[in-house]
Amino acid sequence: MRYLILSDIHGNLPALQAVLHTAQPFDAIWCLGDLVGYGPNPNECIERLQDFEHVSIVGNHDWGVLGRADPFVFNGDARQALIWIQGELYPENREYLAALPTIKEVGDFVLVHGSLREHIWEYLLDGEYARKNFLFRDFKYALVGHTHIPVTFAWDGERDVARVVVPDGETPLQLGDHRLIINPGSVGQPRDGDPRAAFGILDTETMRFSFHRAAYAVEITQERMRARGLPQRLIDRLEVGR
Ligand SMILES: [Zn+2]
């Protein structure tokens, strides 16, 4: 099976469409949370995902839109976008988000938005955070999102460290005996300096995971955000990928 691994779509439909096109062929999608937040097309992104066989979990912005988080844990721009989305979301799409689990296990893989310790909120920003999560519970491979930065953490039990492996172009990662935490990066709001939409492909026959990027018309997303009165800073950051 070829799985398309998506995270942090954030209501950016042009980015999602580019990824769905570039990633073909795939058998199913695993989505790691934050379907909404920041971007101009929350309903369309939730609906588009459902065109495919998929597994999905909930992220912190989805949580915020559902009113399950104090809005003041989000910064001003994110909060303004959340309030706008709350007013836009169709009831059936709200129900879809409300039914999502915070963690999902599929075979050897655990899917969470943030971390194993704190499914929704913790950012796995460096090797030390990753180390604590490798020690926290037993798992072989974890797929996470939330930081919007593609990265792999590889557990080295002998030295008691989690090594940080930055994706090398599109060279696939061979999954073997080593425990791994993999972040495919963000579809809708990349933060690693590359504005192209990020995604992963997991091939369970060859047991390879590859990191990919898809260029999309950033200006179309920006124009829609402007038309909806979303914050300028959120509009600007898309073209620099920060
Ligand atoms: Zn996010």
What separation in Å is there between the alpha carbon of 137 and the centre of ligand 1? 24
Q: Give 28-77 pLDDT, tens digit per residue.
A: 999 999 999 999 999 999 999 999 999 999 999 999 999 998 889 999 99
Radius of gyration of the chain (CA): 17
60 Cβ neighbours under 8 A, 6+ residues apart: 33, 34, 37, 69, 113, 114, 120, 121, 146
Rounded CA-CA distance 110/132 in Å is: 16
Domain that holds residue 128: 2-240
pLDDT of residue 168: 83
pLDDT of residue 188: 98
What separation in Å is there between the alpha carbon of 147 and the centre of ligand 1? 7
What separation in Å is there between the alpha carbon of 9 and the centre of ligand 1? 8
What separation in Å is there between the alpha carbon of 35 and the centre of ligand 1? 8
Supply φ then ψ for residue 84, to 5 degrees.
-60, -45
Alpha helices in the chain (DSSP H): 13-22, 42-49, 60-65, 76-88, 91-98, 127-136, 218-227, 232-240
Question: Based on the structure, what is the number of domains in the chain?
Answer: 1
pLDDT of residue 125: 94
pLDDT of residue 169: 76
Element (H, E) at 156: strand 151-156
- Name beta bridge partners: 6: 31
Angle between helices 232-240 and 218-227 (to 10 degrees): 180
CATH code for the domain in which residue 215 is found:
3.60.21.10
What separation in Å is there between the alpha carbon of 159 and the centre of ligand 1? 32
What separation in Å is there between the alpha carbon of 10 and the centre of ligand 1? 7
Question: DSSP letters of 192-205?
Answer: SS--SEEEEEEETT
Q: Give 120-137 pLDDT, tens digit per residue.
A: 999 999 999 999 999 999
205 near 171, Cβ under 8 Å? no
Which amino acid is present at 101?
A: P
What separation in Å is there between the alpha carbon of 222 and the centre of ligand 1? 17
Low-confidence ranges of the chain (pLDDT < 50): none
CA 44, distance to chain mean position in Å, is 17
146 Cβ neighbours under 8 A, 6+ residues apart: 7, 8, 32, 33, 34, 59, 60, 113, 114, 115, 122, 123, 124, 183
